[in-house]
Structure 1
Amino acid sequence: MSGLSPDGDEGRALLRRELLRPEYNAENPVLRFLEWLGRRLDAGLAAAGAADPLVAAAVMVVLLAGALALAWLVARARSERDPRRPGPDAITGTGLGSGDLRARAEAALAAGRPEEALLDAFRALAVRQVEAGRLADQPGATAREVAAALAEVAEPAGGPAPGRRDRAAGLHRAARLFDGVAYGDRRVGADEVTAVMRLDDDLAGRR
């Protein structure tokens, strides 16, 4: 590149390299649009470069900014559609089994990411109860709805009332923590994560 004002050929080369980045090729319609855009830009840059190098530089900066914005939008759309990356509020609709979610929670806790660990620990608890047939699989259910449903089946009707109350309280507390982390940027510690894991173990041992 010569100085601060690239000529038409240099501008086209820079733009081509940018448009070849993998994130622009995520969807065929996007790729076709970018190919069309590239052809139009070739003509536009050539005309601008012939007229004034400063105009060419300004056009290139604007176009590269637009291309980067498009790449960000494509990457965000792919992330939102990727079932391996559920939103923070997803509970049972993660596509993972309870064992995988629990292992992921334990790994996150060991790595010093307690908020991430708490989300997966609660998901593991809910999915384990779905797998056991005690909770309906409703991916759109909220954490509080999951806690309320499990509080009713956490102990047989003839079981000790204090035990039922303790488990119900633990479920509602875990749901509040889940919501606080998922929606309110709440910080949690290792003790709160392990409490959810112990509750998961407690519920898993009850038939």
Structure 2
Amino acid sequence: MNPALGPLAARLVDPPVTPSPDEARSQVGRELLRPEYHEQNVVERMIVWLQRVLDGWVTAAAGAPPLVTLAWMVVGLALVVGLVLLLSRVRRRPTAAQPAGPLDVAATSASELRRRAQEALDAGRAEEALLDGFRALAVRQVERHRLDDAPGATADEVASTLGSTYPERRAALDDSARLFDLVLYGHRPATPEQAAGVLALDDELAR
């Protein structure tokens, strides 16, 4: 190295700053892909992670030459900007709507649900008849105080609870709950016989 260049040459031969701005943004993207950031308090988790990274950078840059420190500051700013943009996209992303369970029927009575189910069955709409038939069965048991009114309950939970009350109908309840899930969540077709079986089960439990 030419002695005449002095300190300027020493600054020029310093190793390049790592990571670069592009690499910093890539690190943020990889960090956001970790499964724990899809849980609640994602913003809080990212702030803690960013603070930890920046603390490490401040420590590393404390004894670095001015140009290197400035470069670290630029990378840090790019990292913060990238983080803000990514979090804003995550917040704008629509949440997939969850299908309604058998008790999520907006205060519709069991009689009304059963009427709709029978009309659908008579019109050849077996899937609709099966779904409303199972809903009518569940709501009727709520009305008779044999089942808690829990709109978030699944069909399996409804069948399990009623199976304890009607042990002789446990198998039929489990089969009806399975069909309800297959039609509602799996978009599987139903036969008129399957729908009629759910309505017949509702009649048996009502008696």
Per the normalisation by structure 2, the TM-score is 0.51
2:176 aligns with 174
Shift of 1:92: 1.4
- Relative to structure 1, the CA distance from residue 194 to residue 88 in structure 2 (aligned partners, 3 Å threshold; closer, same or farther) is farther
2:101 aligns with 90
Q: How does 1:139-154 map to 2 (within 5 A)?
A: 139-154=151-166
Shift of 1:182: 0.5
1:114 aligns with 126
- State how far apart, in whole Å, the 1-side matches of 2:174 and 2:99 are: 18
Shift of 1:91: 1.3
Q: How does 1:123-142 map to 2 (within 5 A)?
A: 123-142=135-154
Shift of 1:90: 2.6
1:14 aligns with none
- State how far apart, in whole Å, the 2-side matches of 1:131 and 1:201 are: 14
SS at match of 2:205: helix
Q: Any runs of at least 4 consecutive aligned residues in structure 1 with deviations exceeding 4 A, and if so which? A: none
- State how far apart, in whole Å, the 1-side matches of 2:176 and 2:183 are: 11
Query: Any idea what the Cα deviations from partners look like across 1:40-77, whole Å, max 9, x if unmatched?
Result: xxxxxxxxxxxxxxxxxxxxxxxxxxxxxxxxxxxxxx
- State how far apart, in whole Å, the 1-side matches of 2:134 and 2:99 are: 11
Looking at CA atoms only, which structure, 1 or 2, has the larger radius of gyration?
Answer: 2
Shift of 1:111: 1.3
Query: Any idea what the Cα deviations from partners look like across 1:79-115, whole Å, max 9, x if unmatched?
Result: x8xxxxxx75331121200000000001111111100
Amino acid aligned to 2:186: G
Query: Any idea what the Cα deviations from partners look like across 1:142-185, whole Å, max 9, x if unmatched?
Result: 0000000000012xxxxxxxxx34x1000000000000001111
Mind listing any 5+ residue stretches in structure 2 that lack a counterpart? 1-96
Count residues in correspondence. Answer: 111
Q: % of aligned pairs identical?
A: 51
Mind listing any 5+ residue stretches in structure 1 that lack a counterpart? 1-79, 81-86, 155-163
- Is the contact made by 1:174 and 1:196 (CA closer than 8 Å) also made in structure 2? yes
Amino acid aligned to 2:164: E
Per the normalisation by structure 1, the TM-score is 0.51
1:99 aligns with 111
- State how far apart, in whole Å, the 1-side matches of 2:104 and 2:179 are: 19
